[in-house]
Amino acid sequence: MQTSSFSPAISEVWRFASNRRCVCTFEWLTFEPNAAVFPQIAQARGIGGISSNWELKVNGTVAPIATQSDGTALLRVLEAAADRLERAVDEVNALNVYPVPDGDTGTNMVHTVRSALKHARAAEPKTLAAVSAAAAHGALMGARGNSGVILSQIIRGLKDALANAEDFGNRELRSTLNLARRHAHDAVTAPAPGTILTVTVAVEDAAANDSGDLAAMLRRVVDAGAEAVTRTRVENPVNKAAGVVDAGAKGLWYLLDGALASLEDRSPSISAAATRSQAAPAHAVASEVSSWAGAYDVQFLVEQPTRPIEEIRAEMTKFGADCVLVVGDESVMKVHVHTLQPDKIVAIGMTAGRLGDVVVEDLDAMTAQHEAATGIVIEPPRREATAAIGVVAVVPGAGFATVARSLGATPLRGGASMNPSTEELLAAIREANAQHVIVLPNDKNVILAAESAAKLADVKVTVIPTRTVAQGMAALVAFDATKEATQVAEEMREVAERAHGIEVTRASRSTKVDGQDVHAGEAIALLDGRVVSHGEDEVAVMIDAAKRLSDAELFTLYSGADVDASRVQHAAQRLRAACPRAEVEVIDGGQPHYPFIVAAE
């Protein structure tokens, strides 16, 4: 290595790690200077045999070498951390069993940190305060899932620690980890052991020892984090049952290790510890968590919220949602919850302002995908019957099931050729997990089985004998869980009796039914269970039946599983033209055998 000589210049005052020092400026040239993220480390590496105090004798005088670290350097550290996590995303997803085994922790954390980087790169000027503030805002805007929202609060700790900082040294790192731990814990209504929060405590404790340079201090933090990750396998009951370390904890460790690797100018570690016990059972029942069966993951943003964050959080918790995380500031609020009634959570959010980036995901489907991908089966715990009243609705298709859930019901698949048994109805009553359960059979052939299940149930059950799914959906609209159970059941019964439904299908054989001579293969329309029209055109017979409901103000058209978009659009247009006084809504019902079902109100 060839170097040049240097000549001392006038003394200037520099600030590094919050200490003022008088240093001599100099030039130090190499053909290939060693690169590093923070300038002070890069300079130190360019000096052979330099001491750990980074001092150089100039004409017999000791001169500390110090260079202010700026936002560009911080951005490089954040990018290295994000890259480390992104390369381990599949591993982190596979570890995800707590609080719900939905397999998205790694993806959610990557989504959050990518958003943080996008905003940080756009920050101007590139100061520590500006870059960290932009990263924190971006993390909040892009936060996904429990892990992403908590990660956004950890990055908020970085922003708060660097709000007035001119350099990033040991003191700033210690402050960052202290604030990160505080913000992360404040975001969680019921902190649990053996999670990402465990790592925030461990690294904060490790930062109490601030001896040595920044890289040495961060090395102690990363090592402490690795030990904390290992402990999450035994500290958290769900992780222990599955034989895995906590996914969020491991994801945070990858971020810290990536940051350290960038400071030390090395490749990141392969792993801190084994992530899954080889002797772990493949099947376990979750404990000490809320059941996710039938629930949805709901997330959204509210920009410029008009209600306090604490107030919204309290209202959603009181409503009975799980995993309630509501964080942010006066500019934006991020909401993440698990709930059986996503529409209610959205309604609460709308009282604080206009919603954006709304995400609603089916936790049952997500857990099934994770089970198939990893072989780890975690059964949800049985819910305590804390709800006063619940509803079970037998529905013929996936679209109907989605609507039923959104109205607060537990859906049970049924319909033509697939009517549920008494045992299946009893299981659905138990899943509803309420002290009083209302059952909507929605088919004349299911009523007897529903009444048998009601006799076997260990809770009070009321069967409203709805004979069509149209009656059942109308009754569901009248469901109000805040009222007394007997009153609710009576109101739903009255609405169901006034409701009308049209079912369009094809005749399987030639016959005479309800006074109509029907030929095999013809389209038939049933109004409230009676054949009222038949012919070759399925839409024509539907319109003929609809015209008999002259007082209807709203038709909800549910399309069948095998009906393409053009047929649905054609049917809706014909219905609007034939009944101009009524509003027409279209929903994908997903039911087999019936191309169209129409509910009239």
- Examine the domain organization and report whether 423 and 410 are in the same domain: yes
Helix (H) or strand (E) holding 55: strand 55-58
Would 26 be classed as within a structural domain? yes
**pLDDT attached to residue 155:** 98
Would 477 be classed as within a structural domain? yes
- Examine the domain organization and report whether 154 and 257 are in the same domain: yes
Query: Which residue is associated with the tokens 């359960």?
Result: 437
Distances (CA, A) of 206 to 8, 270, 371: 39, 22, 36
Name the least confident of 125-134, 260-269, 371-380.
371-380
- Examine the domain organization and report whether 152 and 213 are in the same domain: yes
Would 225 be classed as within a structural domain? yes
Residue 548 has pLDDT above 90, yes or no: yes
CB count in 10 Å sphere of residue 205: 14
Strand-pairing partners, residue 484, are none
- Examine the domain organization and report whether 476 and 520 are in the same domain: no
- Examine the domain organization and report whether 155 and 170 are in the same domain: yes
Would 285 be classed as within a structural domain? no
Overall domain count for the chain: 5
For residues 270-274, give the mean pLDDT: 49
The DSSP secondary structure of 137-168, one letter per residue, reads HHHHHH--HHHHHHHHHHHHHHHHHTTT-SS-
Q: What is the CA radius of gyration of the chain?
A: 31
**pLDDT attached to residue 495:** 93
For residues 153-169, give the mean pLDDT: 95
- Examine the domain organization and report whether 344 and 400 are in the same domain: no
- Examine the domain organization and report whether 115 and 260 are in the same domain: yes
Residue 290 has pLDDT above 60, yes or no: no
Rounded to the nearest 10°, the torsion over CA 572, 574, 578, 581 is 30
Per-residue 3-state assignment (H helix, E strand, C coil) for 248-279: HHHHHHHHHHHHHHHHHCCCCCCCCCCCECCC
Residue 91 has pLDDT above 50, yes or no: yes
For residues 450-458, give the mean pLDDT: 92
Question: What percent of the chain stands above pLDDT 70?
Answer: 82
For residues 453-464, give the mean pLDDT: 93
Residue 313 has pLDDT above 80, yes or no: yes
Q: At which of 451, 481, 498 does a domain end?
A: 498
Domain residue limits at 316? 296-366+374-379
Q: At which of 342, 357, 379 does a domain end?
A: 379
User: Is the dihedral angle over the CA atoms 429, 432, 437, 438 positive or is it negative?
Assistant: negative
- Examine the domain organization and report whether 426 and 519 are in the same domain: no
Contacts of 346 (CB under 8 A, 6+ apart): 298, 300, 355, 358
**pLDDT attached to residue 3:** 38
User: Who wins on pLDDT, 150 or 293?
Assistant: 150
Would 355 be classed as within a structural domain? yes
- Examine the domain organization and report whether 91 and 154 are in the same domain: yes
| Residue 576, phi then psi, degrees to nearest 5 | -65, -40
**pLDDT attached to residue 32:** 34
Residue 51 has pLDDT above 50, yes or no: no
- Examine the domain organization and report whether 230 and 157 are in the same domain: yes
Distances (CA, A) of 476 to 108, 255, 411: 34, 47, 11
Residue 14: alpha-carbon gap to chain centroid: 46
